Structure 1
Amino acid sequence: MELGHLTLGDGRRVDTYVGGDPDGATVLVQHGMPQCRLVAAHLEDGARAAGVRLLALSRPGSGLSSWAEPSLASCGRDALEVASALGAETFAVLGISFGAPFAAATAARDPERVTALGICVGIGPWRVLDADDPDLAAEIDILALDDQGRTAEAVDAYRDLMSGVFDDLLGKETDEELMVAFDALIGPDGTSAVDLEAFPPMWRGRFARDVRDALTTYDGIAHDNIAVGRDWDIDLTAIRQPTHLWYGADDDLLPIEHARWWQSQVPHAQLTIRPGTSHGGAYFVHGEEMLRTLTAGA
């Protein structure tokens, strides 16, 4: 794999990842949260086996990527510009977890260049679908600031909120300590949301590095939550490409209503619900299969 960065036409920096098979059909990955371009490292082995070239970028505020006004549409444009700069005229896009809306934005922006769309355990408009979740009350209050045009205050409020959530985790000295703390943080009622104990140490280490790199600041979390929490500035009816939805039947982190919502918005999408699969397992374990599906016929 090759880690680098690009300067976009408007002068912003974007951190990038290039890996997999350099001669293969290309899949661009939109990362989850709190993640960054290093989400592609979890798919690296599967990409090489499938003969797929992997690209990824860190969205605004994640890693060292420059800040930008929260927007799904602008992130779609960024992805297309990055793909061009990295030599991909056409490519499929895969959105993982919180990356799903940004993958959809990429596909909707240019249905000719983006050949297929994949959404793996992808979140929908959480502010609507999860409005009754008491754990999200503080974030919904923050979004109310953005509704009033007080976006800078909303970003500051997200920084403060996330500091209380992640400061202790990021202070862990070893990757293993960080992973144990992360699993305890996101697992509902003390249960594992990502089945970390089932994954070999190399995978756990990759995830820890992904989280550490993503959370250089908390700006990326603020950006993504506001962009997805607002009314979406993309037209999902523009998505004409083959579309695949992959979800885990045992996902305790993301309610299955999100899968149903995506299916309702993109009616031609093929939905697969994997039995015995958790949130993380959906892409840790099934990466090669998804990449092969997205590049079939390419």
Structure 2
Amino acid sequence: MDQSGYESDRIKNCIIKSEVPEICKTEPCCLGIDEAGRGPVLGPMVYGIAYCPLSRQEKLREMGLADSKTLSEEQRESMLEKMKAASDSVGWIVEILTPAYISNSMLRRTKYNLNALSHDSAIGLLQRALSLGANITEVYVDTVGDPAKYQAKLKDIFPDIDITVAKKADATYPIVSGASICAKVARDQAVKSWQFREGVEREGLEYGSGYPADPGTKKFLAGNMDPVFGFPDFVRFSWSTASQLIEKDCVPVRWEDDDEDETKNTGSASLLSFFKKKTEDPRQQKHRFFTDRHLTQVGAL
């Protein structure tokens, strides 16, 4: 799987895809959606889709496609090669979501949690397959969150497609197993080939499975934390494992909001209040959002 586009800039998300088989443009097709790397504090999360004509589903079973978590790394790579060999009837797309993107999304002022991020990636991949000309009539999704709510959400966006969202779909539907394998191989490759622009020495470097409870992962986090800048881009800052270490061991930062909150809690007046005009009505004060952006009211257009 060619990840040169991602390796050139690991701050930006990356799409990698196969060509759409001609048969998938004419015959009705099924499509599976799954992800890899949802839980780790290290590395990207990857969403994958796979699709093929309904008439060729038996071919997927003959390939022996299975949930990627039940396969070894060598078996997953072998399965992906089989899917590539069947490029006349099987297509796939993966989206690599960078650790920086995940962190920035989850930590922004407007709440955007991991479930919403996952849903949007899945929806985007399905829409991309349709835009490329794939004739998708059935979709099978390994659920994120409540299956019924997720299915209703997808059905509302794609009313003409028969959609099934289920737990353990990657172990039930071969087309979802295919998506799972594509996503997992892409994530494994991204993690193994990661180059640290912060100067972390790769030789002899170990970071375990990437899951927060892994001792190897904990050791990596503790040993690669800058007191000012925190962690390398390889780390998801939005995970509590990382944020707690930053809170505990990094240089403390005091924000303006902290002073405002302190004033509210102590009942003391803010220093700025002594510079207000006596005739100034506090109800007419502009929110900082507007003043920072030099926005003013317009009386008439």
State the TM-score, normalizing by the size of structure 1. 0.25
Mark the structure with the bigger radius of gyration.
2
